[in-house]
Each structure stands twice: as structure tokens, then as C-alpha cells.
Amino acid sequence: MDVRSYQGSSIDSDHHLVIACQSAQISNVKQVTGIRTSKYSVSKLTSAEVVEQYRQQIDEKLNHITLTE
């Protein structure tokens, strides 16, 4: 950072002009190239066995949740 103060005109003032130059360095983020993999494999839901396992897991997780009013 470059900071400088400059004298003003002679008007019997104790104030001075201050100028600051600041530079920011922005890091270069590498972009991911190529094929992105999907988070969920939706194509597996066409199988009846997988659908049933998914339903059972969801039911088990929902049974553990208690609703309070």
C-alpha cells in the first residue's frame, strides 16, 4: 500500500491531504474441466429392488423424527 501526505496551501491549517493507493491480488481459481458426475444416480430408481430399499430407508428415518407442537 502506498500512502502519501501532501502539504496544502499556506492558510494556517494543520490539515494535510492524504492519498492512499491499494492494490488487491485476486487468486486464480482453477476451473474444473471435463465431465461432471451427478450427485444422485436417478437411473437406479428404475429397478424395483432399489426403489423398495429407498422407501424403507426413508420410512426408517422419518419414524425417528418426533413432531412436537
pLDDT in tens, 9-60: 666 777 778 888 888 877 777 776 777 666 777 788 888 998 899 899 989 8
Give the max Cα distance, the chain.
Answer: 90
Q: Which residue range is the domain that position 62 belongs to?
A: 42-69
Domain total for the chain? 1
In a domain, 28, yes or no: no
Q: How far is CA 43 from the centre of its chain?
A: 29
Q: Which residues of 29-38 are buried (b: 16+ CB within 10 A; e: fewer)?
A: eeeeeeeeee
In a domain, 30, yes or no: no
Q: Are 17 and 8 in contact (CB under 8 A)?
A: yes
- The H-or-E segment that residue 61 falls in is helix 48-63
Q: Is the pLDDT of residue 69 over 60?
A: no
